[in-house]
């Protein structure tokens, strides 16, 4: 009989050498959080710029997505928790150095704001809606008068929310693939791009579609730039980071990443959007769906791949 | 529509043929193997059967040869190639301004008849491609490019049979 004995202090199930704790709930939540942040950002931005009339889908109709996305996303997070009854303890402390604390508090602030924002447009979308109580009608009227002042905090909080979806991973410095400050801006840009794509699915207005398409193209450009820098940064770093980047350069995530995220989720929709801007007739929902799908796959890959990268070999 | 308009819309078939040949050349250069299409359909079928009943798939002599523990049946380069074909075809349709949902058929038959016969034809072709270990692109085109006798035979029989039986189905077209 051939017997091998391993003695190691590094065999910790589900943590070392490979992390195996985050499953579909986390990328699903990061995706929905980014999507909500993107939609809220542009809704707030165009309200502040006083362009509600030209950008109706952005400001009004898409605003019904973030509350749902945030609640579903938070439910995903809740499902991921090991000790579910203790989730509220996140709200017993404020830790400025912890991204999780930032995220918890930002969500605490932006989720109700997103409900109020969408609620203030509810009767425009469903005129038969009845608030039942007079104070709710008064509150609605007050929000409608003060939308500008709601827009500013939403604008700031949505940026923090968008960045946080990336920082949550990059603060995890025991995993080389995540431990890069590019993830914050990259997830923010990707979230904004998916947000714009979701609005593009709803808009029927030509001017709005044109403007959003240009914005989406710019965002895709920034995203491509950040992805290239992410990989170049890894390549120019230490051996563990080079090893992490290999997952995308020949390793097991190469095909999925370059096909679904980079080509079909960024480059191809960008080409279609350029054609659309040049006057070619295209079904506008195709690039939007591709961007939405690419963003989803991107988060799944980043969470999955990050967990199997490690410092010690 | 006048002939002139149509010629503006469609590429010269000889030029398109040469371009297709160059695509094939490039495929050999980049991937080290030829093009294919039916393989992607086969992989999708295998993946679907495997998802519904893993035991049935592994028990079947045919399906089991495409299933392994360390490789998902959809993780085949042909699947990705076909994804690329969809994307490229979509782009080409957009550039040519022909991007709309429609069923092309002879004015003498209905869309329904056309779809039924297209479905039947596809069914036979799919079955045949698995007997022949490849379809027009995988067996005939790529096979002939590497001077495989099987490739030439496949090409002769695909188009030869088409030529022979065309008479019986001519009413579907003219």
Domain tally, chain B: 3
Residue B150's domain spans which residues? 103-174
Predicted local confidence at residue B2, as pLDDT: 44
Predicted local confidence at residue A95, as pLDDT: 86
Q: Residues of chain A with pLDDT > 70: what percent? A: 98
Domain tally, chain A: 1
Q: What does the pLDDT average to over A24-40?
A: 95
- Asked if A112 is an interface residue toward chain B (Cβ–Cβ < 8 A), one would say no
d(CA A92, CA A95): 10
User: Same domain, yes or no, for B124 and B169?
Assistant: yes
Residue B137 structure tokens: 């692109």
**Contact yes or no for A286 and B90 at CB 8 A:** yes
What is the SS3 assignment for B71? strand
B40-69 tens-digit pLDDT: 888 888 888 888 988 888 888 888 888 887
Is pLDDT of A202 > 60? yes
**At B68, phi and psi to the nearest 5?**
-140, 160
Residue B11 structure tokens: 């590429």
What is the SS3 assignment for A66? helix
Predicted local confidence at residue A117, as pLDDT: 94
A272: nearest Cα among A293, A288, A256? A288
> Which residues are within 8 A (CB) of B22 and not within 5 positions of it... i.e. 6 or more apart?
none
User: Same domain, yes or no, for B126 and B91?
Assistant: no
Model confidence at B92, pLDDT cuts 50, 70, 90, reads confident
- Asked if A282 is an interface residue toward chain B (Cβ–Cβ < 8 A), one would say yes
Predicted local confidence at residue A161, as pLDDT: 94
Residue A296's domain spans which residues? 25-82+96-308
Q: What is the ipTM of this complex?
A: 0.74
Indicate whether A4 belongs to any domain: no
Averaged pLDDT of chain A: 90
User: Same domain, yes or no, for B107 and B168?
Assistant: yes
* pTM, to two decimals: 0.85
Contact A202, A66 (CB under 8 A): no
Indicate whether A178 belongs to any domain: yes
Q: Residues of chain A with pLDDT > 90: what percent? A: 58
Indicate whether A9 belongs to any domain: no
Predicted local confidence at residue A1, as pLDDT: 67
* Between A290 and B104, residue with greater pLDDT: A290
Predicted local confidence at residue A250, as pLDDT: 86
Closest approach of B81 to chain A, Cα-based (Å): 10
Indicate whether A19 belongs to any domain: no
Option in A263, A264, A272 nearest B94 (CB): A272
B1-27 tens-digit pLDDT: 444 444 357 888 999 999 999 999 998
- CB atoms < 10 A from the CB of A62, how many? 25
Option in A259, A271, A283 nearest B91 (CB): A271
Could you write out the DSSP letters of every residue in A244-294? HHHTTTTSTTHHHIIIIIIIIIIIHHHHHHHHHHTT----THHHHHHHHHH
**Contact yes or no for A280 and B91 at CB 8 A:** no
A263 contacts on B by Cβ (under 8 Å): 87
Residue to mutate among B72, B86, B91, with most A CBs inside 10 A, is B91
User: Same domain, yes or no, for B94 and B121?
Assistant: no
d(CA A186, CA A163): 8
Option in A255, A275, A280 nearest B80 (CB): A255
Is pLDDT of B35 > 90? no
- Asked if A116 is an interface residue toward chain B (Cβ–Cβ < 8 A), one would say no
- Asked if A286 is an interface residue toward chain B (Cβ–Cβ < 8 A), one would say yes
d(CA B155, CA A248): 39
CATH (domain of A193): 1.20.1630.10
**Number of alpha helices (DSSP H) and beta strands (DSSP E) in chain B:** 9, 0
Predicted local confidence at residue B7, as pLDDT: 39
Predicted local confidence at residue B100, as pLDDT: 80
């Amino acid at each position: 009989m051939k017997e091998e004995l391993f003695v190691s202090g590094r065999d910790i199930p589900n943590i070392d050498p490979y992390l195996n704790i985050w499953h579909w709930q986390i990328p699903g939540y990061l995706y929905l959080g980014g999507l909500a942040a993107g939609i809220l950002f542009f809704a707030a931005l165009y309200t502040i710029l006083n362009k509600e009339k030209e950008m109706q889908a952005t400001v009004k109709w898409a605003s019904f997505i973030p509350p749902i996305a945030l609640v579903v996303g938070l439910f995903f997070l809740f499902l991921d928790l090991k000790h579910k009854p203790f989730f509220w303890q996140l709200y017993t402390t404020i830790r400025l150095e912890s991204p999780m604390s930032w995220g918890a508090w930002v969500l605490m602030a932006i989720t109700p704001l997103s409900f109020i924002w969408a609620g203030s447009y509810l009767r425009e979308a469903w005129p038969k809606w009845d608030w039942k109580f007079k104070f709710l009608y008064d509150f609605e009227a007050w929000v409608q008068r003060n939308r500008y002042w709601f827009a500013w905090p939403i604008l700031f909080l949505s940026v923090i929310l968008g960045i946080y979806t990336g920082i949550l991973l990059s603060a995890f410095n025991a995993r080389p693939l995540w431990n890069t400050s590019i993830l914050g801006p990259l997830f923010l840009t990707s979230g904004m791009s998916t947000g714009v794509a979701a609005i593009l699915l709803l808009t029927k207005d030509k001017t709005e579609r044109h403007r959003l398409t240009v914005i989406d193209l710019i965002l895709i450009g920034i995203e491509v730039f950040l992805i290239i820098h992410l990989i170049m940064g890894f390549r120019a770093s230490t051996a563990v980071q080079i090893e992490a980047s290999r997952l995308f350069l020949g390793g097991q995530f190469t095909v999925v990443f370059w096909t679904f995220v980079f080509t079909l989720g960024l480059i191809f929709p960008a080409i279609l959007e350029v054609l659309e801007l040049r006057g070619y007739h295209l079904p506008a929902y195709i690039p939007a769906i591709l961007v939405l799908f690419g963003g989803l796959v991107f988060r799944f890959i980043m969470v999955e791949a990050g967990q199997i990268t490690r410092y010690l070999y | 529509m006048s002939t002139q308009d149509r010629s503006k819309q469609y590429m010269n078939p000889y030029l398109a043929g040469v371009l297709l040949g160059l695509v094939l050349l490039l495929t050999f250069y980049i991937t080290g193997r030829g093009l294919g299409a039916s393989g992607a359909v086969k992989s999708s079928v295998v993946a679907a059967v495997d998802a519904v009943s893993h035991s049935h798939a592994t028990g079947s002599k045919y399906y089991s040869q495409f299933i392994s523990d360390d490789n998902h049946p959809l993780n085949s380069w042909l699947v990705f190639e076909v994804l690329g074909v969809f994307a490229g075809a979509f782009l080409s349709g957009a550039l040519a301004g022909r991007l709309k949902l429609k069923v092309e058929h002879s004015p003498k038959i209905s869309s329904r008849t056309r779809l039924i016969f297209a479905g039947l034809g596809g069914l036979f072709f799919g079955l045949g491609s698995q007997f022949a270990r490849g379809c027009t692109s995988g067996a005939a085109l790529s096979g002939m490019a590497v001077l495989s006798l099987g490739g030439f035979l496949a090409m002769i029989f695909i188009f030869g049979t088409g030529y022979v039986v065309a008479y019986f189905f001519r009413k579907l077209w003219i």
